[in-house]
Amino acid sequence: MVSYGVRFLLGLWLFVVSVYADGREQDIREAIVKIYTVHSIPDYYNPWSMRGTQQTTGSGAIIEGRRILTNGHVVRDATFVQVRRFGESRRYQARVMQTSHQTDLAILTVDDPSFFDDVESLPFGELPRTQEEVNVYGFPVGGDTLSITKGVISRIEHQTYVHSSIPLLAVQIDAAINPGNSGGPAIVDDKIVGVAMQGIQQADNIGYIVPMPVIQHFLDDIADGKRDGIPSLGVVLQNMENPDMRRRYGMKEEQSGILVVGIIPGSVSDGILKEDDVILQLDGFDVADDGTVEFRTRERTSLSYLVQRRQLGESITVDVLREGTMHALELTLSRPMDKDWLIPFETYDVLPTYYIYGGVVFVPLNRNLLRMWGGNWFNTAPKEMVAMLSSNFITEERNEVVVALRVLAADVNQGFQNESHWIIEHVDGEPVRNLAHLIRLVEAGQGREFIEFESRADRKIILDRAKAETTLPDILDVYRIAQDRSDDLKQ
């Protein structure tokens, strides 16, 4: 028979154990991980080679399905990834399952099941309200242990994601976000409401997190095992805040909207919307003259939010005013936004594209190449290349800008060896649509004595075809280049 005193002590012990266990279940820190990444970064100025490896660290959170949620830039161009749980010393090798560099999000996993022992995944919350308190968990520089910073939600609106240069919904917070914090969860009421992604160096305690609508879109997108991306409406728009402009298009006083000034060829709007249409409503939301919508009471952001919250293949309604008549239209969002751009935004986890002929190095113009001129590339990169960004949409005539990046000096190109950064418009008088098309034009002219590359400024590189073809192996050998074109152009 157990005495009363013994029963009391046993009950007290069980109470303490249960409280401790419950405390561990609610301890958010258990689900926070530090991420160690080795990156192998391509050299876009020497596109046949790499710039060497770099090592960085980031943060992440364990979510349902034995997965780790983090930033895309934490594992960009990764060759080796390890993770370490809070309070432990052992590192586990991790594997990247899915990455969306557009939304700066990635999912990792660890094949060793013991990594997930005795840890509860963190649940997801909702899009927070301004002035709500938020805690950011992560492993910023300055130490090796977990850091927790507290702040408030300051602002919710579209911001440009530094990693992808794409404007998406973002949440501004005043909690400190430093290198190493990237990928760490932002927590409100013990739930993930965002992922820390970037800060502003010139300001004190202004940081941004990827919010739940963007995270949920990414997770829904990859639920079938593949990533489709973010859809696009495929139009060029102009604000209508000028009252005379509104009157010119027959808008009533109580109406508001935004003007369609261009339709991107092959987009979902091609053949349905027309130039000079005024979009009054999108997906049931009134569109303001400044191109914003009220996504939540008294909170506004870009109308692109309504498109970006949809998945590829879904439909969206568009109410337009066309020549004084209302039209209710429906669009199927069948094309991702990256198909609209003439000059692609940043890409990762792929090797650069290039083609060499007669020692001339041809490449497509993209943001990765422009970034080779440093963080201030907009002012330091060649002006002709930067200027192409002023109208960064494909046309019926061209879906890629081809640049004669540099010339590998050799006898065949004597006199041209100092030329660089030419935007190529024509080959033998034929307009160039893209780099693959340039190669076809080069090969189609075989048998002719000369080949002529004409730049945007009407300058020309003229080469002897026979010399260009016979000397190519020697040029590649001298400059230690394995092949005359990247693998993606071999077909």
Which tens digits make up the pLDDT trace of 5-52? 444 443 434 333 333 334 434 589 999 999 999 999 999 999 999 999
Residue 22 lies in a domain: no
Regarding whether 169 and 52 lie in a shared domain, the answer is no
Regarding whether 155 and 98 lie in a shared domain, the answer is no
Residue 450 lies in a domain: yes
Measure the CA–CA gap between 143 and 342, rounded to whole angstroms.
43
Regarding whether 269 and 189 lie in a shared domain, the answer is no
Check residue 462 and give its pLDDT: 97
Sign of CA dihedral 42, 45, 48, 52: negative
CATH number of domain containing 112: 2.40.10.120
Check residue 16 and give its pLDDT: 37
Residue 140 lies in a domain: yes
Q: Containing domain of residue 159, as a range?
A: 133-224
Check residue 9 and give its pLDDT: 40
Regarding whether 98 and 57 lie in a shared domain, the answer is yes
Regarding whether 272 and 218 lie in a shared domain, the answer is no
Measure the CA–CA gap between 468 and 63, rounded to whole angstroms.
56
pTM for this prediction: 0.90
CATH number of domain containing 177: 2.40.10.10
DSSP 376-425: THHHHS-HHHHHGGGG-S--SS-SS-EEEEEE---GGGTT-TT---EEEE
CATH number of domain containing 439: 3.20.190.20
Residue 16 lies in a domain: no
- End position of a domain, from candidates 201, 224, 247: 224
Regarding whether 200 and 92 lie in a shared domain, the answer is no
Structure tokens belonging to residue 476: 């590649």
Q: Which parts of the chain sit beneath pLDDT 50? A: 1-25
Residue 455 lies in a domain: yes
Regarding whether 332 and 240 lie in a shared domain, the answer is yes
Check residue 178 and give its pLDDT: 85
Half-sphere exposure of 450 (CA within 13 A, CB side): 10
Q: pLDDT tens digits, residue range 99-138?
A: 999 999 999 999 999 999 999 999 999 999 999 999 999 9
148 φ, ψ (degrees, to nearest 5)? -125, 120
Structural domains of the chain, count:
4
> Which of these, 240, 281, 276, lies nearest to 261 by C-alpha position?
276
Regarding whether 330 and 277 lie in a shared domain, the answer is yes
Report helix, strand or coil for 290: coil
Regarding whether 106 and 150 lie in a shared domain, the answer is no
Residue 23 lies in a domain: no
Q: What are the residue numbers of the active site?
A: 73, 104, 182
Check residue 203 and give its pLDDT: 65
Measure the CA–CA gap between 125 and 188, rounded to whole angstroms.
8
Check residue 17 and give its pLDDT: 35
Regarding whether 214 and 155 lie in a shared domain, the answer is yes
Check residue 347 and give its pLDDT: 94
Measure the CA–CA gap between 81 and 469, rounded to whole angstroms.
43
Residue 398 lies in a domain: yes
Regarding whether 467 and 384 lie in a shared domain, the answer is yes
Regarding whether 98 and 150 lie in a shared domain, the answer is no
